[in-house]
A and B are shown apart, each in its own frame.
Chain A
Amino acid sequence: MNDEMNRNGGSTATMPNEMEDALTRHNRNWMADGIVEIVLGSFWLVWAAVVLLPILFPGSMTAQLRLVLLLASMGAMPFALRRSIRGWKERVSVPRTGYVELKKPGAKWKLLYIALGGLLGYCFGLLFSQGSRSVTQWGALGLGFIMFLAMVLTAWRMRAMRLFALSWVVLAAAMVSFVLNFRVATCSGLLLLAYAFVCLVDGLLRLRSYLKAHPEPVGATL
């Protein structure tokens, strides 16, 4: 939109479509620096390590503490996520492209997030449970599909073609695990690893282009 405005000498047409674009601009701005993806990707990577390391090294310490580590990292996530994203943004993107205070989600959204988190937790629980093998394997595939759809949705909202292309890695990981009949823990570990890989690659590339496009201002006032 600002390219359009620059062409028009700082003024833009009052088309409703452009107005709608301005209304959702903050979503793309929030993700434009790649920080959210990098932090999320790091968390997924930790979870993938917690799940996969005991499989690779069965006698190690991580194998004994797997459940404790998984629960601790899941419990710490909401607090650590918020703090690390905010802290990093304050240092990197606020001095470059400004500060945006996002709206706090309403009660309905909070409930929806809690329900979705619970559903995701239940799916993971199902995968680790001793239930019927076919159910858990279908569960892993379903979970992979949900993760893929979440990424496609994010890519669509951000108009991000690269993220859309990378999101297929998650679906591929789910399908390969399913077709090759991997153990359930291996399936979920690979899914987490694929998700972390996509988030980190896209986030780092996004951060690199962001830093190139917005060099650090000297002596700027906010």
Chain B
Amino acid sequence: MNHELKTIGQVDRVLHEPNRMVVAALLYGVEGADYLYLLTETGMSKGNLTSHLAKLEEAEYVEIVKSFRGKVPHTVVRLTPKGRKAFDEYRVQLKTIYQGLSAADVPRPV
């Protein structure tokens, strides 16, 4: 198996889902963000976002802290160190794959 193909096989399956990847990318640049921010930025439905966050939490990539701001419930999501490391590795893998693709003779989209 060549290097690019091996990289494709090793890609993190938790992060290699468009919505979860976007959530992780949004959280990577900040210390933390609340549920509403993620909802606004991703354009996902509440149910969809909740289920993706649950998957990320299950993999210990994010921590979800529930609190109150006055009387309003407030959910803050943070990327864990494990999640940060996994996202770093995922970015490297993705770049390697894309570099391999751009080097190959791939038909361009019209």
Beyond A2-B43, A10-B45, is A103–B29 a contact (Cβ under 8 Å)?
yes
Q: Contact: B43 with A5, CB < 8 Å?
A: yes
Q: Determine how close the nearest CB of chain B comes to the CB of A156; give it in whole angstroms.
A: 17
Residue among A5, A221, A222 with max Cβ neighbours from chain B (10 Å): A222
Which of B36, B43, B76 is A6 in contact with, Cβ under 8 Å? B43
Contacts of A100 in B (CB 8 A): 30, 32-34, 37
Can you name the residue of chain B whose Cβ is closest to the Cβ of A103? B31
Q: Is B105 an interface residue (CB 8 A)?
A: no
Q: Contact: A221 with B73, CB < 8 Å?
A: yes
Which of A1, A19, A222 is B75 in contact with, Cβ under 8 Å? A222
Q: Is A98 an interface residue (CB 8 A)?
A: yes
Contacts of B72 in A (CB 8 A): 220-222
For chain B, which range describes its interface: under 10, 10 to 19, 20 to 34, or 35 or more residues? 35 or more
* Cα–Cα, bound, A13→B25 (Å): 13
For chain A, which range describes its interface: under 10, 10 to 19, 20 to 34, or 35 or more residues? 20 to 34
* Cα–Cα, bound, A19→B39 (Å): 17
Contacts of B38 in A (CB 8 A): 98
Can you name the residue of chain B whose Cβ is closest to the Cβ of A90? B69
Beyond A10-B19, A98-B35, A104-B31, is A16–B69 a contact (Cβ under 8 Å)?
no
Q: Contact: A16 with B73, CB < 8 Å?
A: no
Q: Contact: B26 with A22, CB < 8 Å?
A: yes
* 0/1 string, A19-36, CB within 8 A of B gives 1: 100111111010000000
Contacts of B30 in A (CB 8 A): 26, 100-103
Contacts of B31 in A (CB 8 A): 101-104
Q: Is A12 an interface residue (CB 8 A)?
A: yes
* 0/1 string, A193-207, CB within 8 A of B gives 1: 000000000000000
Q: Is B44 an interface residue (CB 8 A)?
A: yes
Q: Is B14 an interface residue (CB 8 A)?
A: no
Q: Determine how close the nearest CB of chain A comes to the CB of B10; give it in whole angstroms.
A: 16
Question: A-side interface residues toward B, CB under 8 Å?
Answer: 1-3, 5-6, 10-14, 16, 18-19, 22-27, 29, 94, 97-104, 220-222
Complex A-B: 11 CB contacts under 8 Å: A1-B41, A2-B40, A14-B16, A14-B21, A22-B29, A23-B28, A29-B37, A97-B36, A99-B74, A101-B76, A222-B75
Question: B-side interface residues toward A, CB under 8 Å?
Answer: 16, 18-19, 21-22, 25-26, 28-45, 48, 69, 72-76, 91, 94-95, 98
